[in-house]
Structure 1
Amino acid sequence: MYLKKALWAEGVAAAKASPESEAEQAPAATAVQELVNSLNRQRVYREVTLALKTGLRDARAEFSFLRVRGLRSLLKFLRSVAESDSTIQLFCQTQSLSELQVVPALFQHSLKEPEDETVENLDHIFGVEPLKITSPSTDAEVALALRVLEGCCLLHSESTTLAHHHKAIPVLMNILSTRGVLEQGACLDALVSIMLDSSANQMDFEAYNGIEEVAELIRDKQGDENLRLKCGEFLLLLIGHVNGRERPPLAAIHEDVRRLLGEKSASLIWAASQFGSTLDPKERLTALHIQARRVLESLDLY
């Protein structure tokens, strides 16, 4: 979604540039400006809803290649929305409408567990009704769906609640334990976003032994190096978010990390998870990567 400046906006700007009789024109100019702002908000809202409807139509399709196209469109749309506070607010408004909600569509299609499509009878051959078959999700589709989920939860806090209603943590933990590196990396980022300020999702993560799964990946010397680094970043972000809270849902996380990764690594994670509070976003990201590398180097792997 790339918004173009409306033609009437240029006219208003030109009128404001003329200094003639400013005092006389002020009330009229204010009224015109309010009208322009209202028209512009309506125009942007129509574009937001159109982009959502178009992306969701493909994201709910039966064929994977169509769903991938829809997910790419939604991801591009979310990146465009994130550029402006006003468009973020419009996006949040649309998520109160069931037909425009993105998160349920993700779990009902791209992140849906494959079903056993055993043919019980041959009525579809001898009758007029064709057998409806939905193609399974590809690796690229799952990774895209996780990126879209991450974006929705970061822009719209209520999306974490929608994710919880669709059993997000069990679904994502299954992806983390069974899928490839591409999906696992996207899954870790999505886990951070859906657990952010969501006690329900944090409790689910603890109930499904999420820390054990992440620790297993980070301890695997034969595993992908970038994935192991991302696991380190995940632990730093998670523990940093939990620290300082009274009786958080993940109250036992420090003991779990100490048990799974050893005292040295647990102490390093505990200290490093407080990094970057005064840094700008780019410096914070660099610091996160450096600390994750140190966590990997500190692991006592035997």
Structure 2
Amino acid sequence: MMHHLPKAFWRSENESTPVTDLVTSLDDQRLYREVTLALRTGLRDARSDFSFLRLRGLRSILKFLRSVAASDSTINLFSHTQSIPDLQVVPVLFQHSLHDFQDQIITNLDHIFSVQPLKITSPSTDAEVSLALRVLEGSCLLHRESMLLAHHFKAVQVLMNILATRGVLEQGACLDALIAIMMDSSINQLDFEACNGIEEVALLIRDKQVDENLRMKCGEFLLLLIGHVNGREGAPMAGIHDDIRRLLGEKSASLIWAASQFGSTLDPDQRLMALHIQARRVLESLDLY
């Protein structure tokens, strides 16, 4: 037979004492140390010149972000760490793993006229780019100000470059990251408009030579995006419905418009299932022609 353990002698219901306050404070400090240590360790590897070390660091950070997402208290701790420059995740991603995709290529000829050896950095592999995009997605979902940090590194332009040039693995992660950095960021939505983002996604979804899973992901992307910006007069992408009608045709545009209104009352698993089903219908409507 189970017996209830006696309540600690210093505690009474809803009572705060110097002892309980001290215990709580020590627990908070311990948790904060654990969070910052895990982050520092992952970021140290993610800054490496070697791709295999960067990959290890990104895996560690992604695992860390998933554990952070488990409770509001750890999300708040993570948000606090992101106000400290040395612990910020987003800049490291764009300065290292996603560095090759920056639009601005700065040519530095100093090494030609100098005795200093040229620093060699191994290029990012497909797996590294994909993982960096997942970390970017997680950081922005957990910490809204990371969206603004991403804008400072021309995130939308970099991601559209990846979408146009890399393989299916990176393209799928890219679409998820784009949603994460654009959902509540007008400035990133404006960047997406400036890059003709809807047109680029429409090209992929219309192309039957493109991997079917990626086309499905494009359909889900459009459904999520339209469901989010629906009816926001004067906001960025206010003309998104006209763009999709022009790019995909009236039938598919009407289907996307209707389907994008799904599931606000559904639980997350049901919403995900509904999203898959509606994206499949969008693809089928396109494949009729």
Aligned residue in 2 for 1:253: 240
Aligned residue in 2 for 1:73: 60
Quick one: which of 5, 30, 42 aligns to 1:17?
5
Q: How do 1:1-302 residues align onto structure 2 when only pairs under 5 Å count?
A: 17-18=5-6, 26=12, 30-113=17-100, 121=112, 124=115, 129-299=116-286
Letter of the 1:230 partner, please give it: K
Q: Is the 8 A contact 2:140 2:147 kept in 1?
A: yes
For residues 214 and 205 of structure 1, what CA distance do their matches in structure 2 show?
Answer: 11
**Alpha-carbon distance, 1:119 to partner:** 9.2
Deviation digits for residues 45-102 of structure 1 (CA, Å, limit 9, x no counterpart): 0011101111111101111111101000000000000011100000000000000000
For residues 102 and 301 of structure 1, what CA distance do their matches in structure 2 show?
Answer: 44
Give the secondary-structure state (helix, strand or coil) at the position aligned to 2:100.
Answer: coil
**Greater Rg over alpha carbons, structure:** 1
Aligned residue in 2 for 1:6: none
For residues 56 and 101 of structure 1, what CA distance do their matches in structure 2 show?
Answer: 9
- Structure 1 portions without partners, runs of 5+: 1-15
For residues 153 and 285 of structure 1, what CA distance do their matches in structure 2 show?
Answer: 20
TM-score, reference length from structure 1:
0.88
Q: Percent identity?
A: 74
TM-score, reference length from structure 2:
0.92
Deviation digits for residues 205-234 of structure 1 (CA, Å, limit 9, x no counterpart): 001000011000000101100000000000
Q: How many residues align?
A: 282
Give the secondary-structure state (helix, strand or coil) at the position aligned to 1:174.
Answer: helix
Measured on the aligned residues, the alpha-carbon RMSD in Å equals: 2.3
The range that moved more, 24-33 or 88-97, is: 24-33
Q: Is the 8 A contact 2:11 2:20 kept in 1?
A: no
Give the secondary-structure state (helix, strand or coil) at the position aligned to 2:97.
Answer: coil
The range that moved more, 236-245 or 130-139, is: 130-139
Deviation digits for residues 154-196 of structure 1 (CA, Å, limit 9, x no counterpart): 0000000000111001000000000000000000000000001
Q: Is the 8 A contact 1:206 1:250 kept in 2?
A: yes
Q: Is the 8 A contact 1:58 1:70 kept in 2?
A: yes
